[in-house]
Amino acid sequence: MGRDKAGLLVDGVAMAARVAEALRAAGAVEVWAVGGDPAVLGPLGLGVVPDDEPGGGPLPATITALGHARTDIVVVLACDLLHPSAAVVRTLVAALGDAPPEVQAAVPLVERHRQWAHAAWRVTAHPRLQAARAAGAHSLRRGAGGLALVEVHGVDPLFVADADTPESLAGGSVGARHHGASLSPMDIPEIDAAELLAQRVAGAPLIDVREHEEFAAAHVPGAHHIPLGEVVERIVEVPTGGTVYVICARGSRSATAVAHYRAQGIDAVNVAGGTLAWIDAGHPTDTGAWRGTAGV
């Protein structure tokens, strides 16, 4: 990329901040960055744990993360995920938590490949990974080769895609490309909170793609709740007869959903600034889980 990917902006938000937001939304007690520039990561609200082997790749970074952990289960994600999903993180943690104690990792299996840089680990895996590294393992695939693990199926490739090249950022939304279309971030239409208020008064539908806990804490009255991790499978719930507005916390996750909806021919529009901008503007909110029916 020519620079540290953690600070690169996607939909106006630094990549590391997007990953941290997904982890916190999934219920993470603490979120840290392993390695990286504190001058870049500090303003994003991230503390930095010095990498035991700077530049050594995902295996030593994961070993560092597990060595620093103060919880029994740790999720280690690449900082350059284009569309990190709290729902996927929760699925990994649940799968590992439900597994017998001897199972030390939960790994998504996507298109027949284990996504090692997107896994949940028990801290008991730490000495095994250390030993594998000392024996010459250079990758997580080899380092974790002897561990008991659970494979998590059904994860959409959208949520494990990362930014390996400039083209993966400049070439358009991953959500749109994954479903057979191309949509650059400049093509995603947006409105602000004031315009959303006017549209809601006029009866326009609104989809909220945040996680369940976020939605229950505060949401735009009457918003239809479809967490981002369920956007693909619940497409039938989205109105197709006119413009539908999409909101999240700050506008990055909703932009991902908008890209997918527009790739399917739905006239979707993103709400810039998200629910936080709506609240800051003094507009009313509701609390509690969504109890509507299919459709908006």
pLDDT at residue number 76? 96
Q: Is residue 293 part of a domain?
A: no
Domain limits for position 143? 5-159
The CATH number of residue 197's host domain is: 3.40.250.10
**Secondary structure of the chain in HEC code, one letter for each residue:** CCCCHHHCEECCEEHHHHHHHHHHHCCCCCCEEECCCHHHHHHHCCEEECCCCCCCCHHHHHHHHHHHCCCCEEEEECCCECCCCHHHHHHHHHHHHHCCCCCCEEEEEECCEECCCEEEEEHHHHHHHHHHHHCCCCCHHHHCCCCCEEEECCCCHHHCCECCCHHHHHCCCHHHHHCCCCCCHHHCCEECHHHHHHHHHCCCCEEECCCHHHHHHCECCCCEECCHHHCCCCHHHCCCCCCEEEECCCCHHHHHHHHHHHHCCCCEEEECCHHHHHHHCCCCCECCCCCCCCCC
Q: Is residue 24 part of a domain?
A: yes
Look at the chain and report how many structural domains it folds into: 2
pTM above 0.75, yes or no: no
pLDDT at residue number 133? 93
Active site residues: 248
The CATH number of residue 99's host domain is: 3.90.550.10
Same domain, 106 and 182: no
pLDDT at residue number 169? 55
Same domain, 212 and 105: no
Same domain, 98 and 211: no
Q: Is residue 134 part of a domain?
A: yes
Q: Is residue 115 part of a domain?
A: yes
Mean pLDDT, consecutive 10-residue segments, the chain of 296 residues?
Answer: 65 82 88 89 88 88 93 93 87 93 94 91 96 92 91 88 62 37 54 95 95 92 91 89 93 83 88 92 90 47
pLDDT at residue number 181? 33
Q: Is residue 211 part of a domain?
A: yes
Same domain, 244 and 118: no
pLDDT at residue number 277? 92
Among 110, 134, 159, give the residue marking a domain's end: 159
